[in-house]
Structure 1
Amino acid sequence: MHELSICLSLLDQVQAIAAEHQAQGVTLIRLRIGPLSGVEPQLLANAYPLAAAGTLAEHARLEIDSGRIEVRCRDCGATSEASPNQLLCAHCGSYQTQLISGDELLLASLELDIDTDAAAADVSSSGN
């Protein structure tokens, strides 16, 4: 199950961002997973608690947004939505298309638990 290794890599990235912002924890992780990414969102969601155990994101809520497939037609230049097994232009029906989106796995956003009093104290002490 490669979703577990994806979760572990994701959490490395999340923890680096949390450390950069001196966060005490992570409350929400939002991902965007395209239908052509090769990642099964439900398997990723199932692997997440195991991967997150003992990390700053252990109690974070994981939200997964399924992206959509979008193509640009090389014949007519139109941009349109497509289905996973038919990457055809919705305007002229051409199969000469270029994938614009649908294969991504993105960390869309994070919500961090930051102690604002400690952050303010750090800022004021560094100014002296």
Structure 2
Amino acid sequence: MHEMSLMESVIEIVCETARQNGASTVKSVRLDVGVLSHVSPDALVFCYEAVRHGTIAENAALEINRIAGEGWCLDCTKTVALEERFGACPDCGRLRVQMTAGDELKIKDVEVI
């Protein structure tokens, strides 16, 4: 389960950044997770519960925002919704679509005290 190592990295980044900025407690963590990222939000929540204990984020709430898949079709020059990686353009049917959103996993923001 790669979500465990992802969440370990998130907690490490969040706690280190909070400490560097003089915070003693993390109140909340908000993540953006793309629907095409192959990351399970449920698995992230499960892993979050396991890895936050003993850190300054121990009692922090976790919010996961799902980001829709989106791409730019090189043939019809439109921004289109993507349901799968390397999928065809829903407008013209061609396969020359560059993904522009939906594969990210990023820390959107952190609330600290």
Q: Same fold (TM over 0.5)?
A: yes
1:68 corresponds to: 68
Unpaired stretches in structure 2, ≥5 consecutive residues: none
Query: Where does residue 41 of structure 1 map in the other structure?
Result: 41
Change in Cα spacing, 1:39 to 1:94, as seen in structure 2 (3 Å) is same
Which residue does 1:56 correspond to in 2? 56
How many angstroms does 1:84 deviate by? Answer: 2.0
Deviation at 1:9, TM superposition (A): 0.6
One-letter identity of the residue aligned with 2:38: G
Q: What percent identity do the matched residue pairs reach?
A: 35
Q: How many residues align?
A: 113
Unaligned residue ranges in structure 1 (runs of 5+) = 114-128
1:93 deviates by: 2.8
1:16 counterpart SS class:
helix
Query: Cα distance, 1:83 vs. partner?
Result: 0.9
Matched with 1:93 is: 93
Alignment root-mean-square deviation, CA: 1.4
Q: TM-score, normalised by structure 2?
A: 0.92
Distance 1:34 1:96 in 2: 20
1:11 aligns with 2:11: yes
Call closer, same or farther: CA 1:88–1:68 in 2, change over 3 Å.
same
The whole-number CA distance in structure 2 between the counterparts of 1:19 and 1:85 is 37
Which contiguous aligned blocks of 4+ residues in structure 1 show a shift greater than 4 angstroms? none
Higher-Rg member (1/2): 1
